[in-house]
Structure 1
Amino acid sequence: MKPVPTYSLYGINPSELLENQLHFESIAARSRLHGWEIKPHRHDRFLQILYIHSGAGEALLEERRERLRSGSLVTMPPRHIHGFVFTPDTDGMVVTMTDSHLRTLLAGVPDALPLFADPRHDRVRRGHPLADTLALVRGEMETVSAWRGASLSALLTLLLIGIARLANAAAPAAARSDSRPARHFRLFQQLLESDYREHKDITHYASAIGITPTQLNRVCRQACGQSALQMIHARVLAEAQRDLLFSDLEVKHIALSLGFADAAYFSRFFARLVGQAPTEFRQSGRARLPAFAMPPPADAAG
């Protein structure tokens, strides 16, 4: 059985810590070693920011395919599956930081943290303030000068705020608000991310937040148009779909990993929400994936 690969950096042992919680490199530095193709994988603890100065490629962000070109800015939070193919002329950079360093840099703006929960692909055109920030980050990456660390910390904070502003502008009004319901919604998202495999009910989450289940449902509907239960089911379903598409785990093992004691019950749960049995979803979903995203055969070396 082969689960979805989990890396710290491209192919590096996940037990290895990033020096000083930060790592900078060009896209070419590592991609060239792999034929300009990075197979789908995820990171447990690292946020990555990828920016293309010139060149092109294709990104797989979960199940979404995105064409990359000059000005593409990809933000990939921990635990989300991603992969890339670049043209050999691609010039760009990758910034990797631990999620704890992300929280340190955004300590003064904690409301920005939830905006880094999902993968993003933005196009940053020449002349945009964020393009200027990215150019300054690259300049510091490529030189060694006095106070380089302090300069990079300041620039990375500015970069993160710029990305958060793009995400905030695209978010529904209810989610952008700094009201109490919006804060409750963000807390529910955080709790759900840590507990979804344990099948906690709505009462558990509402109690942890300090509101009633009715209030929690109202908060969720205002923020994203779904009930709290729908959000719980959607989070479990998202993980199931990732494993079905990007791993060769058997359905019964996927069910167990998601807290289902009975694989048959999991299959009924999946089919009710998706309209397909897990095996049917795996077959039809893989048919739509780009070739580089396909998991290797079960008997492949590796």
Structure 2
Amino acid sequence: MTLQSYDGGKSVFVAAIPGNRRNVSAEIRLDGANDYHKFIYLNTGTACAIINGQRHDITPHSLLYIPAPTPHKITLSPVADTTCIALHKSLNIPQPDHSVITQITSVEKQANYSALFDRALSQYIGATVGSRMALRSYVATLNAQIEHSTATETKPKAAQRLMRRFVTLLENKYKSGANLEFYARELGVTSTHLTRVCQQIQNTSASQVIQDRLLAEARRLLLVGDQKIQDISSQLGFRSAAYFSRFFTNHETLSPKEFRQQARRVRTPTPIAVAPNCRPKPAPFQNKLAS
């Protein structure tokens, strides 16, 4: 993964995630950092996106826009070649307030999108004043395309409404150490009903949804910077570093220290199945930027 930023690494990130060079695992998760507006272009491969509690299968030459602070999880296939532009919500750049997932079918526009994201990445390798101006130009182009698309989000059913409330609450509380019973109580339902809804919509239990969000943030904190594992444990609401290490190791088969060490060694991925529970469903807010 190539990652560049400016303004102290806080305001803007531009990342290229090529399918033939992966850290730690062939699977890459793009969640967390939900204070950022994200533009993601999938050149090749496939992805599974769960955005605001709803699942979507993403095909090659697709553009995704996810506004802050929308809860989301995106899992890329082992061969997915992706570029991401992320802008912190504090930047003075007007952004659309609705998510967009669209496939670019025109060959000419596919080339244009690929070139735009490539130029954004090359600009931020240098990170100059000119880079900042270029970024605004690129983002303005993407925003114009998104704003011209028509939001077609369908009215969510009761289960989908509950799922959205759950993932939004989870995004605010996952670092508190709260358990399933807490979330069910806050949502005014039983833990059994919440689990049933999660199984229906995401094909996983409510407890697993909570654990997945914690693990995603743990992986992110281990991969960026050099925070002590004890500090990460405390930040995520664990009562001790030992308990955090057991939790992480049980789910990742690597200790936090081993995970961090292996992340720094780039290797060729082994083909594996990705997101087997991601079955096709219509995207309620899919918009067409190109015909």
Checking the alignment, whether the CA contact within 8 Å between 1:51 and 1:73 is kept in structure 2 is yes
Q: Hey, which bits of structure 1, 4+ residues long, moved more than 6 A?
A: 92-95, 151-154
1:265 CA displacement: 0.8
Aligned ranges 1:217-232 → 2 under 5 Å: 217-232=195-210
Percent sequence identity is 28
Describe the SS at the equivalent of 1:73. Answer: strand
Checking the alignment, whether the CA contact within 8 Å between 1:105 and 1:153 is kept in structure 2 is no
1:278 CA displacement: 1.1
Larger helix percent: 1
Aligned ranges 1:1-302 → 2 under 5 Å: 10-12=5-7, 45-49=35-39, 73=63, 75=65, 78=68, 98=89, 105-106=97-98, 113=99, 124-126=104-106, 155-159=145-149, 161=151, 178-288=156-266
Checking the alignment, whether the CA contact within 8 Å between 1:244 and 1:278 is kept in structure 2 is yes
Letter paired with 1:239:
E
How many residue pairs are counted as aligned between the two chains?
204
1:260 CA displacement: 1.4
Describe the SS at the equivalent of 1:48. Answer: strand
Letter paired with 2:39:
I
Checking the alignment, whether the CA contact within 8 Å between 2:67 and 2:97 is kept in structure 1 is no
Q: Distance in 2 between matches of 1:48 and 1:205?
A: 27
TM-score, normalising length: structure 1: 0.50
Q: Distance in 2 between matches of 1:180 and 1:246?
A: 38
1:107-130 C-alpha deviation (Å, 9 max, x unpaired): xxxxxx5x78xxxxx7623169x8
Checking the alignment, whether the CA contact within 8 Å between 1:105 and 1:157 is kept in structure 2 is no
Indicate how the Cα distance of structure 1 residues 95 and 242 shifts in structure 2: closer, same or farther if over 3 A, else same: closer
TM-score, normalising length: structure 2: 0.52
Q: Which runs of 5+ in 2 are unaligned?
A: 17-29, 45-59, 73-82, 114-133, 135-139, 269-291
Q: Distance in 2 between matches of 1:242 and 1:154?
A: 31
Query: 1 or 2 for the larger relative contact order (CA 8 Å, sep ≥6)?
Result: 2
1:41-94 C-alpha deviation (Å, 9 max, x unpaired): x96633132669xxx99xxxxxxxxxxxx95635465589xxxxxxxxxxx997
RMSD over aligned CA atoms reads: 5.2
Q: Which runs of 5+ in 1 are unaligned?
A: 1-6, 19-26, 32-39, 58-69, 81-91, 107-112, 117-121, 135-141, 143-148, 166-175, 291-302
Letter paired with 2:38:
Q
1:221 CA displacement: 0.9
For the pair shown, which has the larger CA radius of gyration, 1 or 2?
A: 1
